[in-house]
Amino acid sequence: MNNNSRISNSVKNISFGLLTQVVQMILGFVSRTIFIQYLAIEYLGVNGLFSSILTLLSLAELGITSAILYALFKPLADKNEAQIAALIRFFKKIYLIIAGVVAGLGLLVLPFLSQIVDNPPQQLAADLHLIYLLFLFNTVASYFFYYKISLFHADQKSYVIAKRNIVVFIIQNSLQILSLVVFQNFLLYLSIQLICQLGGNLYLSQLVKKYYPFLALYKNEEVETTVKAKIFSNLKSTAIVKVGGLLVNNTSNIVLNYFSGLKAVGLLSNYTLLIGLASGLIMQVFSGLTGSIANVNVKETIEKKREVFFIVNFANFWIFGMATTLIILLVNDFITVWIGNEYTLSLPVVGVLALNFYMVGMQNAVWTFKSTFGLFKEGRWFILGTAIINVILSFILGNYYGLFGILISMAIARAVTNAWYDPYVVFSKALELNPKLYFTKYISYIAVLLLVLVLLFGLFYLIPLSGWLGLVIKLFLSLLIFNGVLYVFYRKSIELHYILNVVTGMIVNLKAKIKK
């Protein structure tokens, strides 16, 4: 088990996580560019549509992963090997059931594919059912490994998974690019993904045996009845959160396909790819901190927990605010120089995409503390309310305003439900502070972000820039002005000084290692 310090674990997790995302980002751009050149845009649409359908089918997972991680935090901190082994065996049984349920639900969708996908190209129509089955198999197969892999996350060893991902991404994307150039075959493209993901998960499964050999020693221990009761109690709450979250985040492609068809889904998929890569890159930083934050919440004083929350929350704004600025100002420029102006969406649509990205991102610190404090019950019905409001508004506003209406429905649904309630719960019940403190900071962060956007829109209006060179100059100016404004407003804050000290220490340590 893990004996390193929390900072050491966090640095490893973040470093390898960021490296993984950079590799995935570069290869993802190359792969998507070649995909667009060799296959019709409807293939992009069906890729996004089937991904959304199968993500919705994963409702059967019911948020068990969150319950698993929380259940493992304490026995890992106490180094209780028998309890850890018992929990892993218990979770294995649950995930095997989940795999069967997802497979069954997925097969039930097969007869309705022709109605779901309207007027696809002839070649796509001929392969539609087989394509879907490949998506389904890849989804179901992953459940046979989740229960083991989660142990790395809970034990502050996410970097082990990140190392595996780097190798898998390079092999998978290289083979997929080759298959597109030589064969222009979407089925082969998907088959390569399936084989690589399966191979990578099998390798991780073997690593679990290497890192945690004691799992094989404790074969008869059972999870205590009280622990099971707690897990199932948490599972009821995470299930509701899971259902709501999936309905909020994965219905837009389905509704958009209903109103506008696969081409519109394909256009949106390029933006979701870019925003997803940005989100994934950022989340590697924060997911690398989850195990350490859980350790703080298990062992430290309330004052220390508060300190850590405000530092993480400020880092959250710094990174997500900067990324939101770049999305609004640069994503259309990037799409234009990358694959052409005909693939761009309107500025209002880009703005609401960025708004949803920012709203979700700014909840990150809250959700991390909420889950590591075990506050699964609180607010579980709010996320379901978010989902219901989102679905209803999507059909109403989508009918009148198309993609913009569908996306703004998501933002409205979040704003009136969990965007305010989750911070309220964490502050009042976990941190024992007045929630007004959080909302005051939240409003101040929005004000700073709006000031940056006004300054940059004005600057780029006065100095029109285009092409790759213009994009690079805009990127430099955006980063410079955002960070400059941030420093002016927060240069005296404890949070900024703490983060700068940690980053400085990391750079010093890296230089020392390089010299050796």
Give the number of other Cβ atoms within 10 Å of residue 125's Cβ. 14
Q: Which residue has the higher pLDDT, 70 or 476?
A: 476
Q: Which residue has the higher pLDDT, 182 or 282?
A: 182
At residue 41, the pLDDT reads 67
d(CA 407, CA 220): 51
Reduce the DSSP state of residue 377 to 3 states and report it: coil
With a pLDDT cut of 70, the percent of the chain lying above it is: 80
Cα–Cα distances in angstroms (integers) from residue 83 to residues 145, 158, 367, 480, in the given order:
20, 21, 26, 50
At residue 507, the pLDDT reads 67
Phi-psi region of 8 (alpha: psi -120 to 50; beta: other; left: phi over 0): alpha
d(CA 374, CA 386): 21
Supply the pTM of this predicted model: 0.66
Check pLDDT > 90 for residue 18: no
d(CA 233, CA 236): 5
Torsion of CA 64, 385, 273, 165, to 10 degrees: -10
- CA angle, corner 484, sides to 483 and 487, nearest 5? 85
At residue 245, the pLDDT reads 62
Q: Which residue has the higher pLDDT, 112 or 252?
A: 112
- Kindly indicate the confidence band of residue 283, based on its pLDDT and cuts at 50, 70 and 90: confident
Please give the sequence-ordered ranges of beta strands (E in DSSP) within 297-360, or none if there are none.
none
Q: Which residue has the higher pLDDT, 16 or 152?
A: 152
DSSP letter, residue 1: -
Q: H or E segment at 27? A: helix 6-38
Alpha helix (H) ranges present in 300-379?
302-338, 347-362, 364-372
**Which residues neighbour 85 within 8 Å (Cβ) at sequence distance 6 or greater?**
214, 215, 217, 218, 219, 221
Q: Which residue has the higher pLDDT, 468 or 372?
A: 468
Check pLDDT > 70 for residue 337: yes
Could you report the per-residue pLDDT of 411-422, keeping only the tens digit for each? 898 888 878 888
d(CA 322, CA 278): 11
At residue 58, the pLDDT reads 62
Q: H or E segment at 128? A: helix 122-142
d(CA 350, CA 163): 33
d(CA 419, CA 431): 18
Could you report the per-residue pLDDT of 303-316, keeping only the tens digit for each? 888 888 888 889 88
Q: Which residue has the higher pLDDT, 264 or 464?
A: 464
At residue 324, the pLDDT reads 94
Give the number of other Cβ atoms within 10 Å of residue 312's Cβ. 20
Check pLDDT > 90 for residue 355: yes
- Kindly indicate the confidence band of residue 289, based on its pLDDT and cuts at 50, 70 and 90: low
Mean pLDDT highest for which of 207-216, 243-252, 366-375? 207-216
Q: Which residue has the higher pLDDT, 499 or 300?
A: 499
At residue 321, the pLDDT reads 93
Q: What is the mean pLDDT of residues 154-164?
A: 77
At residue 317, the pLDDT reads 92
At residue 358, the pLDDT reads 93
Do the beta carbons of residue 261 and residue 119 sit within 8 Å? yes
d(CA 290, CA 313): 13
At residue 510, the pLDDT reads 55
Tokens at 11, concatenated:
């640095």
- Kindly indicate the confidence band of residue 454, based on its pLDDT and cuts at 50, 70 and 90: very high
Q: Which of 350, 254, 297, 312 is nearest to 441 (CA)?
A: 312
Torsion of CA 81, 86, 92, 95, to 10 degrees: -110
Tokens at 117, concatenated:
């996908």
Q: Which residue has the higher pLDDT, 8 or 158?
A: 158
Tokens at 273, concatenated:
């790819």
Q: What is the mean pLDDT of the chain?
A: 80
Check pLDDT > 60 for residue 35: yes
- Kindly indicate the confidence band of residue 63, based on its pLDDT and cuts at 50, 70 and 90: low
Find tokens 């991780």 and name the residue. Answer: 204
Q: Which residue has the higher pLDDT, 97 or 371?
A: 97
Q: What is the mean pLDDT of residues 172-200?
A: 88
Mean pLDDT highest for which of 105-109, 323-327, 360-364, 466-470? 323-327
- Kindly indicate the confidence band of residue 4, based on its pLDDT and cuts at 50, 70 and 90: low
Q: What is the mean pLDDT of residues 3-12?
A: 58
d(CA 243, CA 245): 6
Could you report the per-residue pLDDT of 429-445, keeping only the tens digit for each? 878 788 898 999 999 99
Q: Which residue has the higher pLDDT, 498 or 182?
A: 182
In order, the DSSP letters of 59-122 are: GGGTTHHHHHHHHHHHHHHHT-HHHHHHHHHHHHHHHHHHHHHHHHHHHHHGGGHHHHS-S--H
- Kindly indicate the confidence band of residue 509, based on its pLDDT and cuts at 50, 70 and 90: low
d(CA 424, CA 427): 5
